[in-house]
Amino acid sequence: MAKIFNAIIVAIIVCCLKCSDGSVCISEDACNCQINANSRIDLKQISPNVLFDSDSSGNSFYFWGCRDGTQNITVNGTVKPFTGSLIWANATEGKPLGFSKEIRFNLHDEKEKFYEIVYKDGENVKASVHLVCTLEDTFIKILIANSTNPQLALGSPHACVITEKSGLSTGSVLLLIFFISFGAYFVGGILILYFMRGARGLETIPNVDFWRSLPGLVKDGIIFLFSGCSASSITTPETYDRI
């Protein structure tokens, strides 16, 4: 019986350690990643329109979120359609920097729990977009406008980590496990004593002597506490036995 209890306690501890490791965001698709059982990031509703930013050297970035969109851009005097999730252009050239199928979620800053999405072509990172949780505004901002590996920041309420309350808190789950184990201990113990030892009546209760003495022990404990911890106050048969 003790071995089963040990196994259950070890299982609970392992489970708790696993659940609290909530830093990595595992990509589920282009829009979603799962941090742990209760928290995730969902970029699906970022913006119905393309987000745009440009800098003083003439670099323009068009961001469609976690989907691919088509943008008509004037490059070198002619209007051209460009399709992608992140598109870069200047006055003479333009190209898609990344597609939605290349999006991966990353923990950018371990300490600050700062996430980013990167466009990955194999192991090669083509562009990074840092996720900045904002209250209202949705925007894209150029941090480093390099057409080979640019860094951008996406500010959006939809870039925040969503934390959902699960139906049961860890505490109540532990309590539930405790009571279930307790019930299993009694039922299992009674069955074993009844069928294997041939016990009948009260004798089928596992450790019946302990449970019988429990009210007395509790009473002793309380009297002991309230009498200023003096041993002479305890007057049950057990204390006489000890003396």
Ligand X SMILES: *[C@@H]1O[C@H](CO)[C@@H](O)[C@H](O)[C@H]1NC(C)=O
Which parts of 90-129 interact with ligand X (CB under 6 A)? 90-93
CB within 8 A of 175, min separation 6: which ones? none
- The answer to whether 146 contacts ligand X (rule: CB under 6 A) is yes
Within 12-135, strands assigned E span 26-27, 32-34, 39-42, 51-54, 60-63, 69-75, 78-84, 86-89, 94-98, 103-109, 114-121, 124-133
- The answer to whether 148 contacts ligand X (rule: CB under 6 A) is yes
**Residue 60 phi, psi dihedral angles, 5° rounding:** -120, 140
Instruction: Say how many Å lie between the first and final Cα of the chain, rounded.
Output: 33
- The answer to whether 147 contacts ligand X (rule: CB under 6 A) is yes
- The answer to whether 162 contacts ligand X (rule: CB under 6 A) is no
Please answer whether residues 171 and 149 qualify as being in contact, where contact means their C-beta atoms are separated by less than 8 angstroms.
no
- The answer to whether 151 contacts ligand X (rule: CB under 6 A) is no
**Token pair of 38, please?**
């209760």
Please report where in the chains the tokens 């399709």 appear, as a residue: 83
- The answer to whether 76 contacts ligand X (rule: CB under 6 A) is yes
Alpha-carbon separation of residue 161 from 27, 28, 96, 133, 134 (angstroms): 14, 15, 28, 8, 11
Q: Whole-number minimum distance, CB 151 to ligand X, in Å?
A: 10
Q: Whole-number minimum distance, CB 166 to ligand X, in Å?
A: 42
Q: Which of 27, 149, 236, 239 binds ligand X (CB under 6 A)?
A: 149
Size of the site for ligand X (CB under 6 A): 14
Q: Whole-number minimum distance, CB 116 to ligand X, in Å?
A: 16
Q: Which of 72, 166, 230, 232 binds ligand X (CB under 6 A)?
A: 72
- The answer to whether 74 contacts ligand X (rule: CB under 6 A) is no
Q: Whole-number minimum distance, CB 131 to ligand X, in Å?
A: 22
Alpha-carbon separation of residue 156 from 33, 72, 106, 113 (angstroms): 16, 25, 17, 16
Q: Whole-number minimum distance, CB 81 to ligand X, in Å?
A: 5
Q: Whole-number minimum distance, CB 98 to ligand X, in Å?
A: 16
- The answer to whether 56 contacts ligand X (rule: CB under 6 A) is no
Using CB under 6 A, list all residues that contact ligand X.
Answer: 58, 70, 72, 76-77, 81, 90-93, 146-149
